[in-house]
Chains A and B, each alone.
Chain A
Amino acid sequence: MDGYAPTRNGYQNPDRLTSDLATESARLSERGEERAQPKLRRALAAIEASAEIGIPVLGRPPQRMGGDREWALIGQLFAAFVATSLSAERVSAASIETKAQLCASCHGEHGLPSDPTVPIIWGQQAAYIQNQLNAYRNGDRESQIMSSIAESLSDAEISQIAAYFGHAEWPARSESPPSAPAPGAITTCQACHNANLAGGTGPAGVAPRLAGQFSPYLLDTMNAYANGERANSEAMSTLMQSLSPEDRKAVADYLASLR
């Protein structure tokens, strides 16, 4: 439950918090409610600091809570998350770890794929992972392997897997390519993928982290958007078509060199 930075303007990663809390409440409900209190207090503190969270049960967070109201709120939060995030299923943390093992075969036992045309997903934006799994499941994206896997996941499992990997740490790359000066085209990317290219919510939805991603994977992806092979983001299709192959390569190499 670490890594939330309540800021003056709101919480940093509202989507991530929502899915992490869903995961957390599932885990806690497995172990019994008496241990819920400290963790949920911290979560509530984070929520209190933000006006941006759209969690239905809370509306406007109160300034100061006391005793019974706190317990009532915790109870409501529990119920809301169990009801909305998990639907009718109890998905245990243990089963998500089992499901995630299948992912490890291609995406790396420790988060670093051995094949650089396979993307790093550890530490990726959870909402982006969720969107892509949904896209594979409903046919908006085509991949023999990913489609079969995504098809077998329920809504709850997709949300939990997204949180699971979103929460993990982006792997250190033992041999990062040498840093290069930022190509001019990079400002286009930063508009949605943020100044530090770590992704997040932006003008075109949730943009993925690009910084430190594999260059071959990034280039394949840009090309796929440009030639129509991948078509689940209109913005990306348009932008990639306007980038020359040389520019795409320069951008991919630069992004791969970032930490």
Chain B
Amino acid sequence: METQPTTRKARMTKYLAVEACIALVLLAICPRVSAQSVRTGPDAYGDWRTDAPGVMRRITPADLPAPGATPSNANRSKVVPKPANATLKTMPGFSVDALVTGMQGARVLRVAPNGDIFLALSRPEGKIVIIRTGTDMSNPKVETFATGLQDAYGIAFYPPGLDPKWVYVGELGKVVRFPYRNGDLTASGAPETIVSDLATGGNHWTRDVAFSPDGKTMYVAVGSASNVAEQMGPRPAAFAAFEKTHSPGSAWDREEWRANVLTYDPDGKNKQVFASGVRNCSGLTLQPGTGVVYCATNERDLLGDNLPPDYVAGLKQGAFYGWPWYYIGNHEDTRPGGGRRPDLADKVTVPDVLIQPHSAPLGIAFDPGGQFPPDWKGDAFVALHGSWNRALRTGYKIIRLPFKDGKPTGEYQDFVVGFVADDQNVWGRPVDVTFAKDGSLLFSDDGNDVVYRVTYKSE
């Protein structure tokens, strides 16, 4: 054995040589694992030009800029036909293809136990269609399941499990259900109204619906009417009683029973607020195994380009997420009418995964495994509809949220990008994600009315 080097320089050289050897060995045994750098702090924000498949980000509450740090921008995107040379980009081993086209207003996607793909065509059609495919998801055919459903949105099968008897649909002002058996391609009966008094009007019209695994609880997500309740009047007279029935942090006037996730019994009785202060939970899903309710949530506008982050949260029952008086924990917004709420400052739950501001997360689904890489089983995927309130566009992509031991790590990864053609024009706007029976990922685009499918082949 050589003697220990005595000079400092010699020791450093030996140290570096050993490090280099270790690095080479690691690279040799883990060919698919590259050094995954995570963009953090100000680097995590970026815009569409710095999106790329595989880019990982982590935004934390400490990374929030001050309100008005940038002026507010209205940068409405224009949906154009797919440019001739445009392609969607995804990570190595994956491919993206259009499954069906011409689905006007394609929004919520849910897969029935028998593999049939339910799709809500929300506006202007107001109908639910079924996409049925052959082996290997070839040869898709589209049938109309039900029509006459204004703003048709959330779709949920009941009872949960392999043998549903109804399919529930969230629509304008109500939740209805249709009789359904595996294999039905069209509704066999008229819709029955289960909830008749869902709030209507104003900004946020999507009403997603989901059931707890034991089938005892129906969750309905209702977004706020306004941006931040600036026109809200003084608080209700018997305020303590109001907070008891509506849950602490709930707003009033036009915002009553809004900006929350509600629970009902499957027959529509026993309305409760499950979590409040959730500005617009557009996509609602339950984590397999734990039954935790996850929301893809749209936070507020007109505070600046990089404020506040949108988010994904695993909701805690009885928790308050801030809207309208706070966001991302104890960050006060002084715009809401009806008086400030210092009593709530320390009661705001911080969401699990913070997403680039103004991205507009609309849908979320968990990977059940079966096709994507094995260590991705249990990760969540989110569709970002894309921004208007930002000088440089963001969103317009599908992202993956890694989970570890059943909990989100707080990071997320660009998974499918490429819809932004240039600063003005986009050729797609993702809305919802789900997994097909074969484990491939499906997502809807209500810009050009397409359902896309992402498949994976391990090398």
A49 at the B interface (CB under 8 A): no
- A229 CA / B302 CA spacing, docked (Å): 25
| Also in contact, A142 and B124, with CB within 8 A (given A147-B227, A152-B302) | no
Tell me how far the C-beta of B15 lies from the nearest C-beta in chain A, rounded to whole angstroms.
56
B230: chain A residues within 8 A (beta carbon): 151-152
Tell me how far the C-beta of A107 lies from the nearest C-beta in chain B, rounded to whole angstroms.
9
B14 at the A interface (CB under 8 A): no
**Cross-chain contact A106 with B231 (CB below 8 angstroms):** no
B236 at the A interface (CB under 8 A): no
- A101 CA / B76 CA spacing, docked (Å): 15
- A144 CA / B74 CA spacing, docked (Å): 11
B203: chain A residues within 8 A (beta carbon): 142, 144, 147-148
**Cross-chain contact A139 with B424 (CB below 8 angstroms):** no
| Also in contact, A151 and B124, with CB within 8 A (given A139-B202, A142-B202) | no
B75 at the A interface (CB under 8 A): yes
Within 8 A of B (CB), among A108-128: 114-115, 117-118
Interface size on B, residues (CB 8 A): 26
Q: Tell me which of A105, A114, A147, A227 contacts B74 (CB under 8 A).
A: A105
Tell me how far the C-beta of A257 lies from the nearest C-beta in chain B, rounded to whole angstroms.
23
**Cross-chain contact B124 with A227 (CB below 8 angstroms):** yes
Tell me how far the C-beta of A158 lies from the nearest C-beta in chain B, rounded to whole angstroms.
12
- A14 CA / B405 CA spacing, docked (Å): 69
Within 8 A of A (CB), among B185-211: 201-203, 205
Within 8 A of A (CB), among B214-265: 225-228, 230-231, 254
A151: chain B residues within 8 A (beta carbon): 226-228, 230-231
B83 at the A interface (CB under 8 A): no
Within 8 A of A (CB), among B278-320: 301-302
A137 at the B interface (CB under 8 A): yes
**Cross-chain contact B231 with A148 (CB below 8 angstroms):** no
B72: chain A residues within 8 A (beta carbon): 102
- A114 CA / B301 CA spacing, docked (Å): 23
| Also in contact, A152 and B227, with CB within 8 A (given A139-B254, A142-B202, A142-B203) | yes
A138: chain B residues within 8 A (beta carbon): 231
Tell me how far the C-beta of A117 lies from the nearest C-beta in chain B, rounded to whole angstroms.
8
Proximity string of chain A (130-159) to chain B, C-beta cutoff 8 Å, 1 when within and 0 when not: 000000011100101101110110000000
**Cross-chain contact B76 with A145 (CB below 8 angstroms):** yes
**Cross-chain contact B226 with A105 (CB below 8 angstroms):** no
The number of chain A residues touching the other chain, given as a range, is 20 to 34
Tell me how far the C-beta of B165 lies from the nearest C-beta in chain A, rounded to whole angstroms.
33
**Cross-chain contact B124 with A148 (CB below 8 angstroms):** no
B82 at the A interface (CB under 8 A): no
Within 8 A of A (CB), among B396-450: 424
- A138 CA / B254 CA spacing, docked (Å): 9
**Cross-chain contact B76 with A137 (CB below 8 angstroms):** no
**Cross-chain contact A149 with B74 (CB below 8 angstroms):** yes
**Cross-chain contact A147 with B226 (CB below 8 angstroms):** yes
**Cross-chain contact A102 with B201 (CB below 8 angstroms):** no
**Cross-chain contact A102 with B73 (CB below 8 angstroms):** yes
Tell me how far the C-beta of B451 lies from the nearest C-beta in chain A, rounded to whole angstroms.
23
17 A–B contact pairs at CB < 8 A?
Answer: A102-B74, A106-B74, A106-B75, A114-B424, A115-B76, A115-B78, A117-B78, A137-B231, A138-B231, A144-B388, A145-B74, A145-B389, A147-B226, A148-B302, A148-B389, A149-B74, A227-B124
Report, nearest first, the 9 A-B pairs whose CB atoms are least far apart.
A148-B227, A105-B74, A148-B301, A139-B202, A139-B201, A151-B230, A147-B203, A106-B74, A151-B227
Given contacts A142-B203, A142-B205, A147-B226, 19 further A-B contacts (CB under 8 A): A102-B72, A103-B74, A105-B74, A105-B75, A105-B76, A106-B74, A118-B76, A137-B231, A138-B231, A139-B201, A139-B202, A139-B225, A139-B226, A142-B201, A145-B74, A145-B76, A147-B202, A148-B203, A148-B226
Contact surface of B with A, Cβ cutoff 8 Å: 71-76, 78, 123-124, 201-203, 205, 225-228, 230-231, 254, 301-302, 335, 388-389, 424
Contact surface of A with B, Cβ cutoff 8 Å: 101-103, 105-106, 114-115, 117-118, 137-139, 142, 144-145, 147-149, 151-152, 227, 229
